[in-house]
Amino acid sequence: MESFRYIVIEGPIGVGKTSLAKRLSPPFKARCILEAPEDNPFLHKFYRDRKKYAFQTQLFFLLNRYQQQREIRQIDLFNQVTITDYLFTKDRIFAYLNLDENELALYERVFALLNGRIPTPDLVIFLQAKPETLLARIRVRDIEYEREIDIEYLRALNQAYNTYFFHYEESPLLVVDTSEIDFVNKEEDLENLIRETRSMRRGTWYYKPLGSKNLD
């Protein structure tokens, strides 16, 4: 664990990325850097009309994430652990899911210009949950711009995430099934996940805990 100075939490909408990033920061004495999707001025419109606003939404996210990643690159990662709630390269998951052929071609040209300047994480924690669980969590937190999200979109997104991380090899990967744990409200669930994270080594590891209940 000592070599993991830059840790990324990833997973589909509603899986608990931001919550876990916040919960892991104190025990790891980490700097927590969070994405702010609500700053994207196109996001509300995207969920109402995905086809019409997909490109603007995706390009804003790409450039905003790039700027944040540039700031992370300038941080002394040897001085303090850094935890973020997104992986820069996952941006392409949403691009391939939402953009048409011409938009995707332009997006890929921009992405290629930016990607080489991005720091590679020392560890990625990929959180999984069933689409029905994701939708239930989204409904509970009741963020206005997420109210238009439907189960079919979450199924497609889940499949895209699983496919992406099945082939992911850029850094050590811990895959966590979150369906039966509550690392926000249950200290035991959080401590078990911390223990699993600290024991990580190279390669891909799978953690499917027999936990307490679904995360709200």
Q: Could you tell me whether strands 82-84 and 6-10 are parallel, antiparallel, or unpaired per DSSP bridges?
A: parallel
Distances (CA, A) of 8 to 21, 85, 132, 142, 208: 8, 6, 24, 25, 19
- For 20, the token pair is 């876990």
Which residues participate in catalysis according to the annotation?
Answer: 85
Q: Which residues contact 80 (CB under 8 A, 6 or more apart)?
A: 29, 30, 31
Query: Whole-angstrom Cα distance, residue 183 to residue 24?
Result: 10
Query: Whole-angstrom Cα distance, residue 67 to residue 19?
Result: 23
